[in-house]
Copies of this chain bind each other. A is one copy, B any other.
Amino acid sequence: MLLSALLTSVGINLGLCFLYFTLFSILKRQPGNVYVYAPRLVAEGKAQQENDFNLEKLLPSVNWVKRAWQVTEDELLTTAGFDAVVLMRIIIFSLRVFSFAAVVGVFVLLPLNYMGNQLNFDFIDLSTKSLESFSVSNVDDGSSRLWIHFGAVYIFTVFVCYLLYREYKSLSSKRIEYFLSSKPQPHQFTVLVRGIPVSSARSISDTVDGFFSECYPSMYLSHSIVRSTSKIKALVKYGDKVHKKLTSLKSSNQSEEKFTRSGFLGLFGKRVNMVDHYENKLENIEENVRTEQSSIIGKEVAAAFVCFKTRFTTATALHIRQAVNPTEWVTEPAPHPKDVYWPFFSTSFIRIWISNIVVIMACILLTIMFLIPVLIVQGLANLKQLEMWFPFLKGILSITFISEVITGYLPSFILQQFLSFVPPIMIMLSSMQGYIALSQIQKSACIKVLIFTIWNIFFANVLSGSALYRANIILEPKKIPEILAIAVPGQASFFISYVVTSGWTKTAENLFRLNPMVFSYIKRKFLGYSADDFAVPSVSYHSQIPRMLFFGLLGITYFFLAPLILPFIVIYYCLAYIIYRNQLLNLYAPKYESGGKFWPIVHDSTIFSLILMHVIAIGIFILKKLPLASSLIAPLPVITFLFNSYCHRRFLPMFQSYSAESLIKKDRDEQADRSMNEFRDKLTSAYEDPNLMPVQYSSSYQSLRSPLLGSSQA
C-alpha cells in the first residue's frame, strides 16, 4: 500500500470521527435525545429534561469531555460496577504500554529503519514511497543496528510483564475488597444443582429437601425447583406488550386513535373500540397464563436452586462432590437472579457435552467460511489483481483518488462490516453450550470472538496477503518464525488503516450511536412510540473487549517491525478512554456483575501477543542474518511463558472463587446484623421463576413479579 492510499484512509476516517463528535456534541443537548444518549440517567431519574429550545444549544460543547475526565475510579465502581472498572483498566493498561512503545518506536526504531538501505527506495518522492521503508525490512542485513531492535524487544517485554503483574495484583485485591464490602446477594448463598435423581415414590422437591437436610442439617435453608416455563414466558411477554399499549392508549387524548376496524390491517370491517379490544385480549391472556401455571406445577425439571445460611457452606457444597455418583447432585455457582438465562437449559451432562461438541464444530466452520471476505479484502488491496479480474474497471481505477480509496479505505471497511456479524453469532453459539447465566455466555463469547479475530483478521490477512497462506503451516512448526517474519511486516499499512477504520471511527460511532439515533427518531416521529420504549443498554463486553485486545496484539507485534502503527493505536486508546467513560456514566447500566472475570482473558491475550512478537523476532533476525540475536531471543518466550504460569498460579484462583478466609470473615461480620433475617426470608423466594408469580394486569402488577431483584452487585 502506498503512503498516499493510507493517508486517504486516515483522512476519510478522521473526517468521520470529527463529524460524529460534532453531531454528538450538538444532538445530545436537544430535547428528546436524552433517551438516546443518557437513558441510564433517565432511568435513575437524574436527567434534567429541558424541553425548551434555544439557539445556544446548537453550538457544539465539550463539557461532557471534562465531566468524563473528572470521574474517579471509585465513582465508576459505585455507579457502573466492577466490570466497568476492569474495562477502563484495560484501556489504561494499554495506554501505558503503547505510550512507552510509541516513544521508543517513533524516536528510536523508526529513524533507524528509515536510515537503512535494504529496500533501495527513491529518496526524493515521499508520497509514492512504500511504507515499508519505515519498517524493519529496510534495515540492512547483518547490520549492527539490529541489536537496538533486539534490546527494544527485551525491554518492552519486561515493561509489559511488569505492568501485567501490577494490574493483576491490584485488580485481584480490588476484587476481594469489592466482595468484602458488598451487600449480601442471593447468589452468594445459592448453588444450582443438576442431575437430581428422580424416583417415582417422591417428588423432586422432597428429594432435594431430604438430601440437603441430611448433609447440611444446620445450614440448609430452602430450594426452588427449576421448571420449564418457556411457554408461559412467551405469554407473559405478549401480555406485557398488550398491557403497555393499553396504558398508552388510555392516557392518550386523541379519541380518534381509540378506534380501529376489525378486518384486514384495520382497514375494513366494523369499527371496534380499541380499549375494549385490548382489554378483552388481556383477559384472555391472563386466563391462559393461569391455566398454564397450574398445569406446570408438576412439570419439574431435575434441577434446583438450593440456598444455604452462610457463604462458607455454599462454597463447601460447590467444591465438594455431593453424591457418590459424580453425575448426580452436580453443583455449580448460581448466577444472580437477574443474570439467570437459559434458553438451552439441560440437566443431563451428556446433552451439554454433545452441544459443546456441536458448538466447537460450528465455530470451526464459521472460521473457514470467513476466509471468503478476507480473500476479497486482500484482492482489493492488490490493485493489479483486481484489474486483471475485472478489466472494465481499468478506467475508474486509473483515477488516483478512487484507487486510493479502494486500496486504502475499502478493504478494512468491508472487513469491519463482515466482522460486526461475528459477536451476535458467537453469543448465540455460546448460549447453546448450556451456560446458565448471561455473564457466563458473554465471557465464553468474548473468548470465541477474540480467537476468531486473531485468527481471521491477523493470521488470515498476514498469510493470504503474502500468498503464503497454507493450512499446513501448523504441520511445519520449524518454519513458522520465518514465514511470519516474511509476511507480517508487509501488512503494516493495511493494519494501520484497519486501526483507523475499526478503532477510531467505530468508537466515535459508538459515542454518536448512529443506528439508535436514527431508529429513535423514526420511532418517535412516525410510529408514535413513547419515551419508555427505549431500554437502557448494557456494555457488550463480548464485542468491545476482543476489539481492544486485538489492537493490543497489533501494537505489540508491530512494535519493532513497523513502529509507525503505534501513534495510531495510542490515539485509539485515548478516544476509547474518554468515550467509554462518558458512556459508562450516561448510557450503559450494568445488567450483571461478573466480578472482573474478564481480566484473566486480557492477561492471557497479552501474553500470547508477546510470545507471537518473540516468534516473529526470531524469524526476523534469521532473515536479517543475525543468528546470534535470533538464538538470544529464544529464551524470552520461555521466560514469558514461565511468568504467565506463575501469574496463573498466583492470581487466577482469586478470580475463580473466594477463599475460606474471606467467606468466613464476611459471614462473621453479618452474624450480628439484624437485617440478615429479613434477607434470608427474601432469599427463599429469590429464585422463584418470575413467570410463575400470579399475573394481574393492574398497577401493582410490575412490583409483584420481582421480589428481590434489587442491586446487581456481585
Residues of chain A touching chain B, judged by Cβ–Cβ distance below 8 Å, are 176, 214-215, 312, 315-317, 319-327, 329, 349-350, 353, 475-477, 645-646, 649-654, 657, 659-664
Between A and B, 24 residue pairs with Cβ closer than 8 Å are A214-B664, A215-B661, A312-B320, A316-B319, A317-B660, A319-B319, A319-B320, A320-B660, A320-B663, A321-B657, A321-B660, A322-B659, A322-B660, A322-B661, A323-B659, A323-B661, A325-B654, A326-B649, A326-B650, A326-B653, A327-B650, A353-B645, A353-B649, A475-B476
CA distance A321 to B649 in the complex (A): 12
CA distance A326 to B646 in the complex (A): 11
CA distance A607 to B327 in the complex (A): 21
Q: Tell me how far the C-beta of A170 lies from the nearest C-beta in chain B, rounded to whole angstroms.
A: 14
CA distance A215 to B315 in the complex (A): 14
Q: Is the CB of B660 within 8 A of A326?
A: no
Q: Tell me how far the C-beta of A200 lies from the nearest C-beta in chain B, rounded to whole angstroms.
A: 22
Take A320-B319, A324-B176, A477-B475 as given contacts and tell me if A350 and B646 are in contact as well, using a CB distance cutoff of 8 Å.
yes
Q: Which of A319, A645, A646, A661 has the most C-beta atoms of chain B within 10 angstroms of its own C-beta?
A: A661
Take A319-B319, A476-B475 as given contacts and tell me if A661 and B324 are in contact as well, using a CB distance cutoff of 8 Å.
yes
List B contacts of A476 (CB < 8 A): 475
CA distance A663 to B216 in the complex (A): 12
CA distance A324 to B215 in the complex (A): 27
List B contacts of A321 (CB < 8 A): 653, 657, 659-660
Q: Is the CB of A324 within 8 A of B214?
A: no
Q: Is the CB of B215 within 8 A of A664?
A: yes
Q: Is the CB of B475 within 8 A of A649?
A: no
Q: Tell me how far the C-beta of A94 lies from the nearest C-beta in chain B, rounded to whole angstroms.
A: 26
CA distance A316 to B318 in the complex (A): 10
List B contacts of A349 (CB < 8 A): 649
Q: Tell me how far the C-beta of A714 lies from the nearest C-beta in chain B, rounded to whole angstroms.
A: 17
CA distance A325 to B475 in the complex (A): 41
Q: Within the oligomer, what is the number of copies of this chain? A: 2
CA distance A494 to B55 in the complex (A): 97
Q: Tell me how far the C-beta of A330 lies from the nearest C-beta in chain B, rounded to whole angstroms.
A: 10
List B contacts of A649 (CB < 8 A): 326-327, 349, 353
Q: Is the CB of A320 within 8 A of B326?
A: no
- Look across to chain B and name the residue whose beta carbon is closest to the beta carbon of A357: B642
CA distance A475 to B478 in the complex (A): 10
List B contacts of A329 (CB < 8 A): 661
Q: Tell me how far the C-beta of A656 lies from the nearest C-beta in chain B, rounded to whole angstroms.
A: 9
List B contacts of A477 (CB < 8 A): 475
List B contacts of A663 (CB < 8 A): 320
Q: Which of A316, A326, A477 has the most C-beta atoms of chain B within 10 angstroms of its own C-beta?
A: A326
Q: Tell me how far the C-beta of A416 lies from the nearest C-beta in chain B, rounded to whole angstroms.
A: 36
Q: Tell me how far the C-beta of A666 lies from the nearest C-beta in chain B, rounded to whole angstroms.
A: 12
List B contacts of A350 (CB < 8 A): 646
- Look across to chain B and name the residue whose beta carbon is closest to the beta carbon of A319: B319
- Look across to chain B and name the residue whose beta carbon is closest to the beta carbon of A217: B664
List B contacts of A652 (CB < 8 A): 326
List B contacts of A475 (CB < 8 A): 475-477
Given A323-B660, A327-B650, A353-B645, output 8 extra A-B contacts at Cβ < 8 Å.
Answer: A215-B660, A320-B657, A320-B660, A321-B659, A324-B659, A324-B662, A325-B650, A475-B476
CA distance A123 to B33 in the complex (A): 97
Q: Is the CB of B320 within 8 A of A654?
A: no
CA distance A324 to B321 in the complex (A): 23
CA distance A102 to B359 in the complex (A): 42
CA distance A321 to B658 in the complex (A): 8
List B contacts of A646 (CB < 8 A): 350
Report the 7 A-B pairs with minimum CB-CB distance, sorted nearest first.
A326-B653, A319-B319, A321-B659, A320-B660, A322-B660, A324-B659, A316-B316
Q: Is the CB of B320 within 8 A of A659?
A: yes
- Look across to chain B and name the residue whose beta carbon is closest to the beta carbon of A657: B321
Q: Is the CB of A324 within 8 A of B650?
A: no
CA distance A649 to B348 in the complex (A): 12
List B contacts of A662 (CB < 8 A): 324
Q: Tell me how far the C-beta of A261 lies from the nearest C-beta in chain B, rounded to whole angstroms.
A: 60
Q: Is the CB of A654 within 8 A of B316?
A: no
List B contacts of A317 (CB < 8 A): 660
List B contacts of A654 (CB < 8 A): 324-326
CA distance A477 to B319 in the complex (A): 39
Q: Tell me how far the C-beta of A440 lies from the nearest C-beta in chain B, rounded to whole angstroms.
A: 20
CA distance A326 to B663 in the complex (A): 14
List B contacts of A353 (CB < 8 A): 645, 649
Q: Tell me how far the C-beta of A640 lies from the nearest C-beta in chain B, rounded to whole angstroms.
A: 15
List B contacts of A324 (CB < 8 A): 176, 654, 659, 661-662
- Look across to chain B and name the residue whose beta carbon is closest to the beta carbon of A653: B326
Q: Tell me how far the C-beta of A311 lies from the nearest C-beta in chain B, rounded to whole angstroms.
A: 11
List B contacts of A650 (CB < 8 A): 325-327
- Look across to chain B and name the residue whose beta carbon is closest to the beta carbon of A354: B642
CA distance A694 to B229 in the complex (A): 71
- Look across to chain B and name the residue whose beta carbon is closest to the beta carbon of A668: B214
Q: Tell me how far the C-beta of A485 lies from the nearest C-beta in chain B, rounded to whole angstroms.
A: 21
CA distance A322 to B323 in the complex (A): 23
CA distance A475 to B321 in the complex (A): 41
CA distance A349 to B650 in the complex (A): 10
CA distance A231 to B65 in the complex (A): 70
Q: Is the CB of B320 within 8 A of A315?
A: yes
CA distance A321 to B326 in the complex (A): 21
- Look across to chain B and name the residue whose beta carbon is closest to the beta carbon of A651: B326
CA distance A664 to B321 in the complex (A): 12
CA distance A327 to B649 in the complex (A): 7
List B contacts of A176 (CB < 8 A): 324
Q: Which of A317, A325, A652, A663 has the most C-beta atoms of chain B within 10 angstroms of its own C-beta?
A: A325
CA distance A653 to B325 in the complex (A): 9
CA distance A519 to B349 in the complex (A): 57
List B contacts of A659 (CB < 8 A): 320-324, 326
CA distance A317 to B176 in the complex (A): 20
- Look across to chain B and name the residue whose beta carbon is closest to the beta carbon of A313: B316
- Look across to chain B and name the residue whose beta carbon is closest to the beta carbon of A180: B324
CA distance A215 to B324 in the complex (A): 27
List B contacts of A651 (CB < 8 A): 326
- Look across to chain B and name the residue whose beta carbon is closest to the beta carbon of A317: B660
- Look across to chain B and name the residue whose beta carbon is closest to the beta carbon of A654: B326
Q: Tell me how far the C-beta of A220 lies from the nearest C-beta in chain B, rounded to whole angstroms.
A: 12
Q: Is the CB of A320 within 8 A of B327?
A: no
CA distance A323 to B662 in the complex (A): 8
